[in-house]
């Protein structure tokens, strides 16, 4: 399809494990965003990329969280030593880049840490 694709849609893991979440943005979109959403809350900004570089990573909660976008397209959010508090829906969005452009969101990856 032509939309933002996120995998896996659901991930259950144990506390302390390593997790990778993948985002495939809309073709041609240079900006890519990661958000985290807990139940009843709005999306919480984590990081955004312009091309291959992280333009703003001020939302990453701590050094267990890391994201890459090596070729300026697909991005991977990596979480080390997962904790129960990391359980949330992780949303990815892409847009055409700078300016007023709307964000196109994927359906999210639901992470559950037991």
Q: How many residues bind other proteins (CB under 8 A)?
A: 30
Q: Quick check: 5 binds other proteins (CB under 8 A)?
A: no
Span of 19-27, 42-50, 61-69, 74-82 interacting with other proteins by CB under 8 A: 42-50
| Sign of the C-alpha dihedral computed for residues 4, 39, 21 and 50 taken in this order | positive
Binds other proteins (CB under 8 A): choice among 35, 36, 82, 94: 35
Report the residue number, 36 or 83, with the smaller CB distance to other proteins: 36
Contacting residues for 23 by C-beta, under 8 A, at least 6 apart: 4, 5, 6, 32, 34, 74, 75, 76, 77, 92, 94, 106
What are the CA-CA distances from residue 63 to residues 19, 48, 50, 94 (Å)? 14, 16, 21, 24
Least Cβ distance, residue 100 to other proteins (angstroms):
6
For other proteins, the binding residues (CB under 8 A) are: 4, 31, 33, 35, 40-45, 48, 50, 55-56, 58-59, 91, 93, 95, 97-100, 102-108
């Amino acid at each position: 399809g032509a939309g933002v694709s996120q995998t896996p849609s659901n991930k259950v893991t144990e506390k302390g494990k390593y997790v990778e979440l993948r985002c495939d943005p809309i073709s041609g979109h240079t900006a890519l965003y990661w958000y985290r959403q807990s139940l009843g809350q709005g999306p919480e900004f984590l990081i955004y990329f312009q091309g291959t570089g992280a333009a703003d990573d001020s939302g990453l909660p701590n050094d267990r969280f890391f994201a890459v976008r090596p070729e300026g397209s697909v991005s991977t959010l990596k979480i080390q030593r997962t904790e129960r508090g990391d359980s949330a829906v992780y949303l990815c969005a892409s847009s055409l880049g700078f300016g007023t452009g709307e964000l196109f969101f994927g359906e999210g990856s639901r992470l559950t840490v037991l």
